[in-house]
Amino acid sequence: MSRFLNSGFLVAVLALGAALHAASWAQEARGPVTVTFSEQANRHPVSGFGGEWDPHFWTERNGRRGCDEAAWRTLMDRIRGMGVSRVRTAVLPDWYEPENDNADPGVADGAAFTWDSEQMRSLRRQLDFCQESGIRVTLTWWCAPARVAGGKPYWLGFAGSKQWCSAPNDAAECAENVAAVLRHLVADKGYACIDAFTFMNEPDWTYLNDENRVDFGHYAEVCRAIHARLVREGLRDRLELDLADDSGHRGWLQQTAAALGGVSDRLNAHSYVFSCEDPGYAPAMRAWVRDRVVGCGDLPFCVNELGTRHVQGAYTATDIETFERGFCVAQFALLGLNEGMTGALFWGLHDQYYYDGNPEDGSNGGLMKTNLMAYADEAWRMRPSGEAWSLVCRGAPRGARAHPGVSDDPEVDGVALVPPDGGGVNLLLVNRADAARKVTLRGIPAGAVPLEKAEVSAFGRNGASGPETRAWTETTGCELPPETFLLARLSGPKQ
């Protein structure tokens, strides 16, 4: 036990330096805020914070726009520097089984699968990076496309779907297709970085059959068929099934939790609900997460797509260059951790072309502009949301134990995280008020290491600052500038 754990409370002043200060003590009329961290960590460790990373970089349509080896190296440095510990990656069945391999879903014909298609090669380059960088991958089998090139119906899809996506039309064939790609990537190619699998993106509205109906019973049947096939092929223990993946229909998550006990290892939902413009958004975020964590029972809950409500279609976020988007999503992470959420993935890591179209088509001609970083033509410029999200990713690495914080001020919140490597504790703190707040921190879970150093990084209206290294003692205090999200990494002496 650290002596600090037994020292009552800590009062610490982190002089954050000129870059961070915004309010003088003269403006600070009220007494200090107290944030008290729970001695008990959340039940499940952090599953990882990061973002959507669909494998389009190494495709011709991005290649001719500057996505080359030099751009790749720059991007890899960025992603590593951000501290991303998990990504969610799409895979589509037509990338590797464009025609049905044979008429028997029980017997896979290896020669019929197209593992060297452009998209599969692009996916493997991405997985190479994740594998060597310690980033975990939630592979998401997106959907059965209704149609493929030339408008031809896809053999595994429902051509009558009004969306480009549909449900698979055959549970046994779908299970064979899923098992084939997981065998190829995880067993044959050795990508242990893939530790989670999601069947279908947002099935609550994309799981369409020829009548354009969403049939939950069929979804559950296919999930069970996949589970059984992975068991049979000896692959099931190498992955967690992360199911539900709903676009915001709470009922779908509840149905999945109820119907797929023994099949799901974890559950997730998507959130594009919140905005810093909405009064009371912080308690609303907490209630949204709490409701879902409770609905998941014993299983971990995470958010596998996170954005704000300021979106226009799938390709444009209207607030993407603003302070508010970064401030909003970073708070969602902090408040969600305080409610027992295990992780969140921002949509997405960087701009890229998903298809090649007319720039006036309402979707930027296929350039998705909703992301933490801009495109290759801007050398992956970090947007404000990237600066904010990086504090979350670095503060809450995969495997960390989160200790929720209780604040006595409605404008201030905090969570403490003990990373799996030991040796310190990370604090994520936020001040929503337009005046500075002096904060007293109680119950910091320091573990066995005496804390003597604080490395402080912050995100505010003037951008990102830090890290600045400060001495940390029992008598140090913390001042949070107005409208600021802050990461303080507390550590002990070097061994």
Per CB under 5 A, residues contacting Ca ion are 100-102, 104, 173, 176
Q: How far is residue 89 from each of residues 253, 356, 415, 432, measured CA to CA in Å?
A: 21, 20, 28, 33
Question: CA 48, CA 389: separation in Å to the nearest integer?
Answer: 12
Minimum CB separation from Ca ion for residue 229, in Å? Answer: 12
The b/e string for 378-403 (b: 16+ C-beta within 10 A; e otherwise) is eebebbbbbbbbbbbbbbbbbebbbb
Q: How far is residue 152 from each of residues 44, 145, 175, 230, 391, measured CA to CA in Å?
A: 45, 10, 23, 30, 46
Question: CA 451, CA 448: separation in Å to the nearest integer?
Answer: 9
Nearest CA-CA partner of 45 in 136, 127, 132: 136
Minimum CB separation from Ca ion for residue 183, in Å? Answer: 13
Sequence-distant (6+) residues with CB within 8 A of 346 are 50, 51, 52, 306, 307, 329, 371, 372, 385, 389
Angle, CA of 353, 357 and 362, to the nearest 5°: 90
Angle, CA of 285, 331 and 195, to the nearest 5°: 90
Minimum CB separation from Ca ion for residue 156, in Å? Answer: 8
Which is closer to Ca ion, CB of 91 or CB of 303?
91
Which is closer to Ca ion, CB of 48 or CB of 145?
145
Which is closer to Ca ion, CB of 29 or CB of 107?
107
Which is closer to Ca ion, CB of 177 or CB of 264?
177
Minimum CB separation from Ca ion for residue 172, in Å? Answer: 9
Question: CA 198, CA 203: separation in Å to the nearest integer?
Answer: 11
Which is closer to Ca ion, CB of 233 or CB of 411?
233
Minimum CB separation from Ca ion for residue 407, in Å? Answer: 54
Minimum CB separation from Ca ion for residue 174, in Å? Answer: 9
Q: How far is CA 372 from the centre of its chain?
A: 12
Which is closer to Ca ion, CB of 10 or CB of 174?
174
Minimum CB separation from Ca ion for residue 99, in Å? Answer: 9
Which is closer to Ca ion, CB of 106 or CB of 420?
106
